[in-house]
Structure 1
Amino acid sequence: MIKPREKAPELEIKLVNGSTWKLSDQSPKNFTLVLFYRGKHCPVCKSQLEDLQRKLDKFTDRGVNVIAISADTEDVAKATHEAWDIADIPLGYGLSIEEARTWGLFISEGIKEEPKHFTEPGLFLVTPEQTIYWESIQSMPFGRPSFNDVLGGIDYILKADYPARGEA
């Protein structure tokens, strides 16, 4: 488990647009939001990412870079990008289960039409210095933080110069 104020694991991931995204290359004004989602098989993920797309400019306005990542294959991730209304979200794929574990994500074994193994949801705010500021990790597809709550939290953090919590 990574605690707030600790260095985030390095993350290098391929994007559906053909480029590679590296956490250490990010230089946001305030934060990088790393959103791990279950994959194309998940209707809750579709709703969450489409909500993120609608609010993307609100994150950008607050100096927050955004990426969404799954363990899906390239073909499945590209199909996701085409099928879901998420055109402006950098979409990463191919996260290994081992790498997911370094982030403290829960891993599930697939049932029915799901992949053999996949990550459960996780949301991380990472500082420009690549330390963990905020993390929300789920063991189920339900109960994710709303983006309105996250945006409100960011507003308070920036206004009050509020420190990362949970480090002790």
Structure 2
Amino acid sequence: MIKPRTETPDLSINLVNGTTWTLSEQHPEHFTMLVVYRGKHCPVCKTYLETIQKHIEDFKSKGVNVIAISSDTKEIAEATYNDWAIDDVPLGYNFSIDEARSWGLFISKGIKDEPDTFIEPGLFLIRPDRTLYAESIQSMPFARPEIKAILGSIDFVVNKEYPARGEA
């Protein structure tokens, strides 16, 4: 786990649109919201990312850059992008298991129609200086932060200059 108020690892990941996204090159007004999803096999992830899509303009208007990444291959990520209603959500692929562990994320062994191994969900709010503001890490597909609650919290955090917590 990464402690709040400490620098996150840098991250560079390929996107389905043919570009490369690098965390250290992001310059949001307030936050980068890094969403790690389990992969195309996960119906809960589909709903979650489609909810983010519905609010993507709200995030932008609040000074938050959003990206969603998984350990899926390029081909599977492209199919995800084409099959899910997430046209404006930058979608990254090939997030390595080792790199995910450096972010404190859980790794699962696949069952039934899942990949052999994959990364469980996480959400990170990262300040423009790459320090961690908040994180939510799950070992299961459910119990994720509600998107509308995050949007409301961002207003509070910014307006009250509320500091990151959990650093002690």
Compute the TM-score of the two structures, normalised by the length of structure 2: 0.99
Residues in 2 aligned to 1:149 and 1:119: alpha-carbon distance in whole angstroms? 24
Residues in 2 aligned to 1:134 and 1:58: alpha-carbon distance in whole angstroms? 19
Residue 149 of structure 2 aligns to a residue whose secondary structure is: helix
Provide the residue aligned with 1:20 in structure 2.
Answer: 20
CA RMSD of aligned residues (A): 0.4
Task: Name segments (4+ residues, structure 1) moved above 4 Å.
Answer: none
CA displacement, residues 78-124 of structure 1 (integer Å, 9 cap, x when unaligned): 00000000011100000000000011000000001100110110000
Structure 1 residue 143 corresponds to structure 2 residue 146: no
Compute the TM-score of the two structures, normalised by the length of structure 1: 0.99
List runs of 5+ in structure 2 lacking aligned partners: none
Provide the residue aligned with 1:112 in structure 2.
Answer: 112
Structure 1 residue 50 corresponds to structure 2 residue 50: yes
CA displacement, residues 11-59 of structure 1 (integer Å, 9 cap, x when unaligned): 0000000100000000000000000000000000000000000000010
Residue 134 of structure 1 aligns to a residue whose secondary structure is: strand
How far residue 77 of structure 1 moved from its aligned partner, in angstroms, is 0.1
Percentage identity across aligned positions? Answer: 60
What are the equivalent positions in structure 2 for 1:1-168 lying under 5 Å apart?
A: 1-168=1-168
Q: Which amino acid aligns with 2:111?
A: I
CA displacement, residues 108-156 of structure 1 (integer Å, 9 cap, x when unaligned): 0000110011011000000000000010000100110100110111010
